[in-house]
Structure 1
Amino acid sequence: MPDSQPRQPDDHAADVTGGPERSALTLCGARLTDGRIVDVRLGGSHIEAVGTAGSLVAPGARVDLRGHLLLPAPAEPHAHSDTALTADTPGPASQHPDDVQRRATEAALLQLGHGATALRSHVRIGDVQGLGALEAVLQTRRSLRGLTELTAVAVPRLLTGIAGAGNLAMLRDALKMGAGAVGGCPDLDPDPAGYAEAVLDVAAEHGCPVDLHTDSDDPGRLARFAAMAGGMRHGVSIGPCAGLSRLPPDAAARAADQLAAAGVTVICLPQGGCCGAERLGTAPVRLLRAAGVRVAAGSGALRDLANPVGRGDPLEAAFLLASQSGLRAEHAYEAVSAEARRAMGLPEVRVEAGFPAELLAVRGERLAGVLSLAYSRIVVHRGRVVARTSAVREYRDSEAGGPPGLPRQGRPDPGTGGGP
């Protein structure tokens, strides 16, 4: 079990992070998914070199990653920072900007500790909160710069009719303030097609991505959305799309083909729903992948009313895709890493020279084992270690000759090796 919560590292700890003008950082003895044991030298925000273990000798800080599997860092494509960590709050959760910023900061650091070096957060605008919650999340983004990349998605409740006119103006204001994408839940609007059309129009006007909530099991509605989304220059994502699982197989297959033809990415939530989902469930990821749909996975609710025990852990999402949806471990991890980053418009990451230094080291030797017992983690963002989580498990034997209940020997957790 982790011995501490993720926290901002000390920039003066040269052996871990270096300083503002830090020299190259070398990750030593890491295992890659192809079985190679390598050293990886990081310079600034990119990988400078990858070589066999012991081959990269350079001045600067070094991190011993023997016993760790080194992976491209995951990203979180579907969070709700404004409602995170509110499940235990009596009564309605406070939407005062100071409270939202505090929760959003804590949630982002928790997810960073899990390995997500980039985060896309859906934030409600309009109604009683106006733009206050969005401003709080944008302030969180500014305060965490250098630790994690946080992008806000502006989410109005209504966009059609008289009630939606003010929200449509507010949506444009949200983009001017710094929201990086437009979103929302067409299913909650009296005119779902009109809502989706309004979002797509604003996105085209401002040149930004679209990320919408839907759990609709209406194949006609999905077909209309796919037709409207086709050809959008900037990315279009929808999720959680659990409603596809409730359709007859042939209808689900036709919807998947339409989404693939439109170039829409589906962001599923294997850990449960979120504030925009009416029913729990998971999208039919194998059917979608077979149709050629890009499928990413997010965490959704982080301990709010939609999922009071949500962990916000990308590796748990990958574990569930492998264990419950039948994906191979490497495809499940791609959903929370390469596909999540692509859905968010982020650069591709590989453990190769020239790629961004966005990395996650997990104690273990094989990806399947890492997804099963991913306790000890070291997170690298922009070429520096920004979070560590360590775990040690002890086994006690009262027959060792000592007093009952005292440990004979502290043994490392088989899934973690006992190291940091």
Structure 2
Amino acid sequence: MLLRNARLPDGTVRDLLLCERHGLVREVGLPGELPPGPGGNDGPNETVGMDLSGFLLLPAPAEPHAHLDKALSWELVGAPPGDLPAAITAWRAYAERVTEEEIARRARRALDELVMNGVTAVRTHVDVLPGEDPLRGLRALLRLRDDDAVRARIAVQVAVLHGDAPDALLREALWLGADVLGGCPHLAPDPVAAVDQALRLAGEFGVPVDLHADENLDPRSGDLRLLAARLAARPDDRPPRVTASHCVSLGVLPAAEAARLAKEVAAADVGVVALPLTNLGLQGRDHPVSTPRGLTAVRALLDAGVTVAAGGDNVRDPFNPVGRLDGLETAALLVAAAHLTPDEALHAVTNAARAVLGLPAAGPWQGAVADLLAVRAGSLGEALSSACADRVTFRAGRVVSRTRVHRELL
């Protein structure tokens, strides 16, 4: 496929030749200077052309932290907005009766929305559920992950999420095919044992770890520090990748203390996922005056050299009644709430997110993976501000979704 007249993030206008066979950007050149490709202009390998005049071509967003088992359940659960404990209580009550088929239906709708917004890779956490069949949600997500139509559009990683599950149940989840081992140490009866269990079982199965860490405003919360210390103690015996998501309490520590902890996290090679939309909504409700932002210390982590990604987290469920399943929304929130530049915010939702997921870099550059998002905008600032729905999503050099918008003044 030959993309013509695409505006790149640096403001330049270029043509790009995509190679579907290898899923890469084969060449980038000035408008009109690239040949049509090895297939010529006729025959079975004919190169398809697309004029992207008026579009900004970006690396496709990746979603490093979703909860597709809960997505789009706000009206079903009937939960009023509240803090994290209230949201957990409401979801647990509903989860007693939720079925595998219902989870699969809502998750498929959410995956479709992600793709149409430009997302080509997602990691979704899925709860160990109450009842006689605690892994029914996991089976629903694994079915979707392995569906050929889904795989063609978006890469799905499934992380099993639990508060205090026994080894036997987590081993069963990993045998079924869970890609990542998750957990919530700050909600476990023994946080130290919870972290040790995650590292031990993930090492046993050779899968990454992604923990919900310090999802609170208590400066004494110690998940992130504990995780970094445990990894430092076992440098030659660790899972392939370790991620800490949320890390909200880091944002309320004194600056010097936050900087020290950020350096420990960097030394332990732990990636951090910031989740602005849900954390800004859930945290700080008991602080009606001078309400804390409820966001991790993004700048301190970046300054320490930590890989910082960002995701949408919960979308239209008891934990968050709003959300668009759109990486551009997350990036805009990082600019407003974390004081990042637009370029830094874009990186957090694109290639930093891909790094956390263990995926190679994508973007409109020669040799990069051809996972791309074309959005109608003249600049990155405009794209983050308007988040225009007029978009084209490319996965591995193929168009997998197209949304056209018609607007008129009468």
TM over 0.5: yes
Given candidates 74, 79, 102, the residue that maps to 1:87 is 74
Q: Answer yes or no: is 1:307 the counterpart of 2:310.
A: no
Aligned to 1:71: 58
- Structure 1-normalised TM-score? 0.82
Q: Answer yes or no: is 1:142 the counterpart of 2:146.
A: yes
Residues 277/154 of structure 1: CA separation in 2 closer, same or farther (3 Å cut): farther
CA contact (8 A) 2:72 2:110 kept: yes
Q: Residue by residue, what CA displacement relative to the aligned partner does 1:77-100 show, whole Å, maximum 9, x if unpaired?
A: 000010000001146265211111
Alpha-carbon distance between aligned partners in 2 of 1:73 and 1:212, rounded to the nearest angstrom: 25
Q: Residue by residue, what CA displacement relative to the aligned partner does 1:179-231 show, whole Å, maximum 9, x if unpaired?
A: 11100111111001100110011111111111000225326543222111343
Q: Residue by residue, what CA displacement relative to the aligned partner does 1:66-125 show, whole Å, maximum 9, x if unpaired?
A: 111111111000000100000011462652111111111111111111111001000012
Aligned to 2:19: 43
1:134 positional shift: 0.5
Q: Answer yes or no: is 1:113 the counterpart of 2:100.
A: no
Given candidates 373, 384, 396, the residue that maps to 1:360 is 373
Aligned to 2:194: 195
Residues 221/122 of structure 1: CA separation in 2 closer, same or farther (3 Å cut): closer
Residues 225/130 of structure 1: CA separation in 2 closer, same or farther (3 Å cut): same
Alpha-carbon distance between aligned partners in 1 of 2:280 and 2:387, rounded to the nearest angstrom: 24
Residues 320/122 of structure 1: CA separation in 2 closer, same or farther (3 Å cut): same
Bigger relative CO (Cα 8 Å, ≥ 6 apart): 2
Alpha-carbon distance between aligned partners in 2 of 1:121 and 1:71, rounded to the nearest angstrom: 23
Alpha-carbon distance between aligned partners in 2 of 1:90 and 1:253, rounded to the nearest angstrom: 40
Aligned to 1:245: 251
Alpha-carbon distance between aligned partners in 1 of 2:300 and 2:185, rounded to the nearest angstrom: 24
Alpha-carbon distance between aligned partners in 2 of 1:264 and 1:38, rounded to the nearest angstrom: 36
CA contact (8 A) 2:393 2:400 kept: yes
Unaligned runs of 5+ in 1: 1-24, 159-163, 396-406, 408-420
Aligned to 1:19: none
CA contact (8 A) 1:301 1:312 kept: no
CA contact (8 A) 1:318 1:333 kept: yes
1:273 positional shift: 3.1
1:56 positional shift: 2.5
CA contact (8 A) 1:117 1:147 kept: yes
Q: Answer yes or no: is 1:377 the counterpart of 2:391.
A: yes
CA contact (8 A) 2:180 2:210 kept: yes
CA contact (8 A) 2:185 2:223 kept: no
**Residue type of the alignment partner of 1:135:** R
Alpha-carbon distance between aligned partners in 2 of 1:294 and 1:354, rounded to the nearest angstrom: 22
When the two structures are aligned, how many residues end up with a matched partner? 365
**Residue type of the alignment partner of 1:201:** R
Q: Answer yes or no: is 1:392 the counterpart of 2:406.
A: yes
Aligned to 2:173: 174
Aligned to 2:101: 98
Alpha-carbon distance between aligned partners in 1 of 2:281 and 2:191, rounded to the nearest angstrom: 17
Q: Answer yes or no: is 1:61 the counterpart of 2:75.
A: no
1:174 positional shift: 1.4
Unaligned runs of 5+ in 2: 42-46, 79-93, 286-292
Within 5 A, what are the aligned runs for 1:227-238?
Answer: 227-230=229-232, 231=235, 232-238=238-244
SS where residue 276 of structure 2 aligns?
A: coil
1:131 positional shift: 1.2
Alpha-carbon distance between aligned partners in 2 of 1:219 and 1:133, rounded to the nearest angstrom: 29
Residues 200/387 of structure 1: CA separation in 2 closer, same or farther (3 Å cut): same
- Structure 2-normalised TM-score? 0.84
Aligned to 1:20: none
Q: Which moved more, 1:351-360 or 1:142-151?
A: 351-360
Residues 220/120 of structure 1: CA separation in 2 closer, same or farther (3 Å cut): closer
Residues 350/310 of structure 1: CA separation in 2 closer, same or farther (3 Å cut): closer
Q: Which moved more, 1:312-321 or 1:242-251?
A: 242-251
**Residue type of the alignment partner of 2:118:** G
1:302 positional shift: 1.1
Alpha-carbon distance between aligned partners in 2 of 1:332 and 1:77, rounded to the nearest angstrom: 14
